[in-house]
């Protein structure tokens, strides 16, 4: 009996083109588009590729040396156009360095500056990270010139050519033995979670149809237990979730490199932890889907409430906008979103190389949420199938 009802559910889903699209095609498209669009998000900002000009109002030796040092690491500037302010506003010139009079004197002094001698003017839309990077690099270059000037006044050995304070620091993202962070590594779990939770739209549609069309009453009158009916709804969609996971991972591993993106790396990940995380996400998603299916009363509600709730949860939960760019209040709100727990559980495995124990805080929340949803679904189903 259960197998026949599961088969019915899968046949109905398989013939629902829109449902299939929402569950399988849409997340794939999101993964591809977002991964390509955010391809460089984990790379360091590249200020060297930006078009810039220098407005040298100080023609002293130190100011010239400063401009030369900058040009070595950021490329040669374009000649300063007469309408540079307009071009800056329009964005065709990314930034202009204004070297104010007195800069050379300031750089030669063995003391910390007390007033601004270098002005960085950028186009209005310059990325905040780039803006800060440029500012820090300008300060760093000035500091280095000051240090060289100060050193030349002492008996110390002059620094080697090419030596720099930058050599003092190395930086890397630490993920243990896990994969290298890339946009694909972040977007596959994010949109996989989104797609898995989209079962809330598919389950509800057929359930409303069964209730309104009398099919559910007919099945009940044939003596089909409520537990069997609920299981026949839940099990196929847990299967759907697993297929989604396999498909999205496959897209990340094999399709993304063909499309010009980075490949999803599964090297070094803990497969048991991945299975546990996907399983927990599926239980939570299907539980929520069952609750909504039992709660909605019409097709209009089913087709509106499910997707809207999904998109809202995605927005709050860090799927659409990463939580680290959210303000503190929104980050606290995100911490209450099941989609955020799901995302963090998968990121723990796929981005941070975590094992089962590392996923447990998020998996635990997901399982508790799933238990609550399943309980609520049983109560609502008893009520709605009378």
Partner 1 sequence: MLAIDGLGFRYPGAPQAALDGVSLQARRGGVLGLLGPNGAGKTTLISHLAGLLPVQRGSVTVDGVPLADSRRANPTRIAVAPQEYAFYPMLTVAENLACFAAAGRLSGDRKRDRIAACTAFAQLERFSKVRAENLSGGLKRRLNLAIALLPEPELVLFDEPTVGVDPQSRAFLLDAIRSLATAGAAVIYTSHYMEEIEAIADRVVIIDHGQVLRDGSLAELLSDGPVVVTVRAEGVDAATLRPFGEVEADGAVLRVRLVPGQSAAAVLAAVEAQGVPIEHAEVGRHTLEHLFMSLTKRSLRDD
Binding positions for partner 1, rule: CB under 8 A: 1, 3-5, 7-8, 11-12, 15-16, 212-215, 217-224, 386
Q: Determine contact, residues 272/349, Cβ cutoff 8 Å.
A: no
Element (H, E) at 95: strand 95-99
Contacts of 329 (CB under 8 A, 6+ apart): none
Q: How far is the CB of 22 from partner 1 (least distance, A)?
A: 16
Task: Please tell me the distance from the alpha carbon of residue 64 to that of residue 59, in angstroms, as a whole number.
Answer: 6
Q: Which is nearer to partner 1, 232 or 348 (CB)?
A: 232
Q: Which residues pair with 98 in a beta bridge?
A: 55, 119
Phi, psi of 236 (to 5 degrees): -60, -35
Q: Which is nearer to partner 1, 15 or 174 (CB)?
A: 15
Q: Which is nearer to partner 1, 97 or 229 (CB)?
A: 229
Q: Which is nearer to partner 1, 206 or 284 (CB)?
A: 206
Q: How far is the CB of 295 from partner 1 (least distance, A)?
A: 19
Q: Which is nearer to partner 1, 90 or 217 (CB)?
A: 217
Q: Which is nearer to partner 1, 207 or 341 (CB)?
A: 207
Q: How many helices (H) and strands (E) does the chain have?
A: 17, 3
Q: How far is the CB of 12 from partner 1 (least distance, A)?
A: 5
DSSP string, 26-74: HHHHHHHHHHHHTTTTTSPP-GGGS-EEEEE---SHHHHHHHHHHHHHH
Structure tokens at 71: 């040009």
Task: Please tell me the distance from the alpha carbon of residue 8 to that of residue 2, in angstroms, as a whole number.
Answer: 10
Count other C-beta atoms under 10 Å from residue 35's C-beta.
28
Structure tokens at 246: 């396999």
Q: How far is the CB of 308 from partner 1 (least distance, A)?
A: 25
Distance set, CA 24 to CA 202, 246, 251 (Å): 12, 11, 11
Q: How far is the CB of 270 from partner 1 (least distance, A)?
A: 40
Q: Which is nearer to partner 1, 1 or 90 (CB)?
A: 1
């Amino acid at each position: 009996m259960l197998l026949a009802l599961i088969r019915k559910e899968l046949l109905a889903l398989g013939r629902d083109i829109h449902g299939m699209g929402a569950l399988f095609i849409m997340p794939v498209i999101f993964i591809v588009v977002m991964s390509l669009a955010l391809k460089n998000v984990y790379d360091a900002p590249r200020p060297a590729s930006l078009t810039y000009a220098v407005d040298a109002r100080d023609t002293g030796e130190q100011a010239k040396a400063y401009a030369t040092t900058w040009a070595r690491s950021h490329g040669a500037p374009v000649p300063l156009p007469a309408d540079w302010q307009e071009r800056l506003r329009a964005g065709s010139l990314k930034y202009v360095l204004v070297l104010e009079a007195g800069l050379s004197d300031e750089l030669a002094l063995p003391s910390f500056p007390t007033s601004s001698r270098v002005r960085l003017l950028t186009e209005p839309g310059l990325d905040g990270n780039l803006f800060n990077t440029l500012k820090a690099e300008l300060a760093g270059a000035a500091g280095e010139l000051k240090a060289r000037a100060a050193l030349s006044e002492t008996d110390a050995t002059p620094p080697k050519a090419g030596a720099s304070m930058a050599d003092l620091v190395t930086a890397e993202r630490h993920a243990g033995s896990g994969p290298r962070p890339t946009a694909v590594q972040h977007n596959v779990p994010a949109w996989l979670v989104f797609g898995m939770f989209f079962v809330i739209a598919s389950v509800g549609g057929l359930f409303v149809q069964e209730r309104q069309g009398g099919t559910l009453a007919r099945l009940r009158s044939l003596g089909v237990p409520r537990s069997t009916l609920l299981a026949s709804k839940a099990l196929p969609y847990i299967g759907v979730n697993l297929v989604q996971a396999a498909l999205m991972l496959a897209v990340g591993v094999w399709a993304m490199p063909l499309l010009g993106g980075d490949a999803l790396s599964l090297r070094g990940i803990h497969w048991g932890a991945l299975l546990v995380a996907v399983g927990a996400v599926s239980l939570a998603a299907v539980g929520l889907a069952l609750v909504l299916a039992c709660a909605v009363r019409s097709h209009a509600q089913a087709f509106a409430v499910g997707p809207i709730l999904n998109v809202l949860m995605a927005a709050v939960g860090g799927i659409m906008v990463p939580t680290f760019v959210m303000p503190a209040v929104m980050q606290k709100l995100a911490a209450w979103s099941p989609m955020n727990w799901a995302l963090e559980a998968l990121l723990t495995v796929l981005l941070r190389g975590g094992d089962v124990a590392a996923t447990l805080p998020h998996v635990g929340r997901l399982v508790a949420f799933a238990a609550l949803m399943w309980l609520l679904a049983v109560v609502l189903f008893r009520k709605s199938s009378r």
